[in-house]
């Protein structure tokens, strides 16, 4: 399955974004990044779900990630972060979404000072997320992060550690890994069937710039051969022009 992330229309309302994306041919779903103008809630989700259904499109929900931290040593912040994610899970269930994408926690100054406490709290949050997602009957996939000092979950080994002891899945972000290790085969070999969703975008190996496919140095001929065909693939790009360009790129390389 191939889809488009709403970040390509992040400067307009979600309703407008869904309308514009639904005009693009050859896609199966829209990944709604529930942030800013595209924030989903219990009051607005139904109209957006109708728009998708009218156009024969399924949904993936990317849960909010800005200003939240499931690994915060401040329990009030951790609890509020989980509550925000759980609301996204509930909306995903109501929308019949294919899955929900979440980010790992990240290191705050307190987390850096007390790494053992950070690790314990992070794992506790992920286990709570696992329990709640199974209760709702939805699939949640933890995304690997790009190269940045305070971000966690950047390597395949670390993602495996974080999901260990849970039934959480993995979102493999190709562009993010390109800024870290570029070991695409190792990531897929290590995490295997846990990878149920893929983010596609390009960069120069240093900055997480979300370029059109082929505009950076990701070795797409090799990567396309490795990517799991059973996973959903989502184009995570900055504009609809970049999306269309990347759709053409995929057609000529697969």
Q: For 56-93, what is each residue's pLDDT tens digit?
A: 999 999 999 999 999 999 999 999 999 999 999 999 99
Give me the residue label for tokens 């139904």: 46
Residues in contact with 85: Cβ distance below 8 Å, sequence separation at least 6, in sequence order: 63, 64, 68, 70, 102, 129
In the chain, how many domains are there?
A: 1
Q: For 93-143, what is each residue's pLDDT tens digit?
A: 999 999 999 999 999 999 999 999 999 999 999 999 999 999 999 999 999
Domain of 69 in residue numbering reads as: 2-253
Q: Kindly report the CATH number assigned to the domain that includes residue 82.
A: 3.20.20.150
Main-chain dihedrals φ then ψ at residue 173, nearest 5 degrees: -95, 105
Q: By three-state DSSP, how is residue 6 classified? A: helix
pTM higher than 0.75 for the full model?
yes
Main-chain dihedrals φ then ψ at residue 179, nearest 5 degrees: -90, -5
């Amino acid at each position: 399955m191939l889809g488009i992330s709403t970040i390509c229309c992040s400067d307009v309302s979600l309703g407008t974004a869904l309308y514009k994306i639904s005009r693009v041919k050859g896609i199966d779903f829209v990944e709604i990044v529930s942030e800013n103008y595209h924030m989903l809630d219990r009051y607005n989700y139904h109209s957006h779900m109708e728009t998708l259904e009218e156009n024969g499109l399924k949904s993936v929900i990317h849960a909010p990630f800005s200003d939240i931290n499931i690994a915060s040593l401040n329990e009030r912040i951790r609890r509020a972060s989980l509550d925000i994610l759980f609301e996204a899970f509930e909306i995903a269930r109501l929308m019949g979404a294919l899955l929900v994408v979440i980010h790992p926690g990240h290191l705050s100054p307190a987390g850096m000072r007390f790494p053992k406490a950070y690790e314990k709290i992070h794992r506790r949050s992920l286990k709570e997320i696992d329990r709640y997602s199974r209760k709702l009957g939805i699939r949640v996939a933890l995304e690997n992060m790009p190269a940045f000092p305070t971000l966690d979950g950047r390597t395949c080994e670390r993602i495996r550690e974080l999901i260990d002891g849970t039934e959480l899945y993995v979102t493999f972000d190709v562009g993010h890994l390109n800024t870290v290790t570029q070991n695409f085969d190792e990531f897929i070999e290590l995490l295997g069937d846990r990878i149920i969703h893929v983010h596609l975008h390009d960069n120069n190996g240093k900055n997480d710039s979300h370029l059109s496919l082929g505009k950076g140095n990701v070795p797409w001929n090799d990567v396309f051969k490795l990517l799991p065909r059973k996973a959903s693939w989502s184009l995570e790009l900055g504009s609809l022009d970049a999306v269309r360009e990347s759709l053409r790129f995929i057609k000529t390389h697969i």
